[in-house]
């Protein structure tokens, strides 16, 4: 798809690393599927993937971890 930020590049699917910080917890998700703009590098995550990330980050918050490295698996 065409990039909504720079309006020049096109996105291609790839895997990215997402860092989420909430309260005292930092979560690093690796291998997250996303569309990445080849021109400006803007990352687009689908709402489905985003929902998964939020769900798993809530689990980690309940466990009170301070830092966790997670592999995203669909
Ligand atoms: Zn772009």
First CA to last CA distance, the chain: 22
28, 33, 40 from 7: Cα distances, Å: 29, 22, 9
pLDDT score at 23: 84
Q: How far is the CA of 23 from the centre of ligand 1 (A)?
A: 31
Average pLDDT (61-74) is 90
Whether residue 32 contacts residue 48, with contact meaning beta carbons closer than 8 Å, is answered with no
Q: How far is the CA of 49 from the centre of ligand 1 (A)?
A: 20
Q: How far is the CA of 58 from the centre of ligand 1 (A)?
A: 30
What global pTM score does this model have? 0.86
Q: Which domains does the chain have, with CATH numbers?
A: 11-71 (3.10.20)
Tell me the per-residue pLDDT of 7-56, one tens digit each, with 9 for 90 and over.
Answer: 999 999 999 999 999 888 999 999 999 999 999 999 999 999 999 999 99
- Is pLDDT above 90 for 74? no
């Amino acid at each position: 798809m065409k990039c909504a930020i720079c309006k020049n590049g096109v996105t291609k699917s790839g895997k990215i690393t997402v860092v989420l910080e909430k309260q005292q917890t930092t979560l690093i998700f690796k291998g997250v599927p996303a569309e990445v703009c080849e021109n400006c590098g803007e990352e687009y995550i689908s709402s489905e993937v985003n929902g998964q990330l939020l769900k798993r980050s809530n689990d980690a918050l309940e466990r009170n971890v301070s830092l966790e490295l997670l592999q995203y698996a669909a």
